[in-house]
Amino acid sequence: MRAADVAGRRVLVRADLNVPLEEGGVADDTRIRAALPTLELLRDRGAGAITVCSHLGRPKGPDPAYAIAPVEARLTELFDGELTVLENTRFDPGEMTNDPAFAARLADAQDVFVEDAFGSVHRAHASTVGVAEQLPAYAGLLLERELEELGKLLGEVERPFVLVSGGAKVDDKLGVLRKLGGRADAVLVGGKMAEQLRESDGLPFPVDLPTDVVAAAEFAESAESRVVPYDAVQAGWLGLDIGPDTRAAFARRIEPARTIFWNGPMGVFEWPAFAEGTRAVAQAVAKSQGYSVVGGADSIRALTELGLVDRVDWASTGGGAALELLEGKELPGVAVIPPE
Ligand code: 3PG
Ligand code: MG
């Protein structure tokens, strides 16, 4: 993008503004802030008009709960200049099918496309791939930086290399972990993913799973809860965090690591009663002297809330995208950008 002549030209930027939401507002604006350098560079280079687009959540069609408005409000507050923010790209049925007609509507009245949505480049969607085929396309500053920082985890790394995984989107992540985990010296898994792993065939290498969990009587912030062995959760109760023995065991693995990649919280960290597991992992990662990379909107939110985000070497805006990059997969939203 540094080489692109944008003066007076209309630029469409695909950012990943898929931020965690809470009570209709932005719960963590890290991804919005991460989009700013590219937008500021375009402004300073005299772009004629800047338009930003992103998906938000996983709506099934237009849904007011996923309207881009609160994200747009935060972005326009943080950005000093003029820009237009398009509505959630996933409100259009052509987005996820990479429909050329939707890509053409996105490209319409634009001169240049800038791909800066690192968190979404593992998706071959209209706004990440289709539109890039219809306009001169460049990589944005965030995308460049992410590829550079995460690239340090490719190839030979200092050992022990410890991989920590949790969070939602379990089905997306299990396949990746199957491939990526073989490169690590230890694989620690918490959260919902651990439960699913126990039920499935497991993985072709040793995995550290929780030995104890914080079980809750219902899925609620103030639910009655107690610590129990992982296999002693009462019928009808739910494991919403890893327990204290697991926290200690995970920390013992993480602290001496020379290379760490952590993606996904250990429990429902948004609720204080179930936040300790994620806190323990965050603290251990922060304490470690090794090269640490943390990826995914929720893990970054947790680190930020704990005041630890500056203690890791790279806080990646990508969750699934970072995992797929490390797995060695080609990322469609990167592959579509011609080399400069
Ligand atoms: C993410 O949060 O990982 C990205 O924004 C991609 O979202 P998706 O998994 O819904 O495609
Ligand atoms: Mg996410």
What is the DSSP annotation of 107-133?
Answer: HTT-SEEEE--GGGTTS--IIIIIGGG
Q: Is 16 in the pocket of ligand 1 (CB under 6 A)?
A: yes
Indicate the SS3 state at residue 35: coil
Kindly write down the DSSP assignment for every residue of 202-231, as one continuous string.
Answer: --SS--B--SEEEEESSSSTT--EEEEEGG
CA distance 7 to 191: 48
The torsion angle over the Cα atoms of residues 290, 293, 294 and 295, rounded to 10 degrees, is -160
Q: Is the bond into 160 cis (omega within 30 degrees of 0)?
A: yes
Distance between Cα 270 and ligand 2 center (Å): 14
Contact criterion met (CB below 8 Å) for 145 and 151:
no
CA distance 31 to 146: 12
pLDDT tens for the chain, residues 1 to 340: 888 999 999 999 999 999 999 998 999 999 999 999 999 999 999 999 999 999 999 999 999 999 999 999 999 999 999 999 999 999 999 999 999 999 999 999 999 999 999 999 999 999 999 999 999 999 999 999 999 999 999 889 999 999 999 998 888 888 788 888 989 999 999 999 999 888 887 888 999 999 999 999 999 999 999 999 999 999 999 999 999 999 999 999 999 999 999 999 999 999 999 999 999 999 999 999 999 999 988 999 999 999 999 999 999 999 999 999 998 899 999 999 998 7
What ligand 1 atom has the least distance to the C-alpha of 169?
9
Indicate the SS3 state at residue 286: helix
Q: Tell me 232's DSSP state.
A: G
Using most ligand atoms within 8 A of CB, pick from 120, 122, 323 the residue to mutate for ligand 1: 120
Res 175: pLDDT: 79
Q: What tokens were used for 297?
A: 């909107």
Q: What tokens were used for 178?
A: 């199957």
H-type alpha helices, 163-296: 170-180, 191-199, 244-254, 276-287
Tell me the one-letter amino acid at 52: V
Distance between Cα 314 and ligand 1 center (Å): 19
Res 340: pLDDT: 76
Kindly write down the DSSP assignment for every residue of 38-77, as one continuous string.
Answer: HHHHHHHTTBSEEEEE---S--SSS-GGG-SHHHHHHHHH
Please state the pTM of the whole predicted model.
Answer: 0.92
What ligand 1 atom has the least distance to the C-alpha of 55?
5
Using most ligand atoms within 8 A of CB, pick from 28, 169, 174, 323 the residue to mutate for ligand 1: 169
Which ligand is located closest to the Cα atom of residue 169?
Answer: 1
Which ligand is located closest to the Cα atom of residue 90?
Answer: 1
Q: Is 297 in the pocket of ligand 1 (CB under 6 A)?
A: yes
Res 174: pLDDT: 85
The full length of the chain comes to: 340
- The answer for residues whose C-beta is within 8 angstroms of residue 156's C-beta and 6 or more apart is none
Distance between Cα 239 and ligand 1 center (Å): 24
What ligand 1 atom has the least distance to the C-alpha of 18?
5
Res 201: pLDDT: 76
Using most ligand atoms within 8 A of CB, pick from 14, 16, 88, 316 the residue to mutate for ligand 1: 16
User: Which of 306, 305, 298, 287 is CA-nearest to residue 263?
Assistant: 298
User: Which of 230, 285, 291 is CA-nearest to residue 262?
Assistant: 285
Using most ligand atoms within 8 A of CB, pick from 63, 68, 123, 294 the residue to mutate for ligand 1: 123
Q: Is 165 in the pocket of ligand 1 (CB under 6 A)?
A: no
Distance between Cα 334 and ligand 1 center (Å): 16
CA distance 125 to 105: 14
Q: How far are the Cα atoms of 124, 244, 267, 277 from residue 272, in angstroms, in the given order?
A: 37, 15, 10, 10
Res 283: pLDDT: 97
Res 186: pLDDT: 96
Q: Is 299 in the pocket of ligand 1 (CB under 6 A)?
A: no
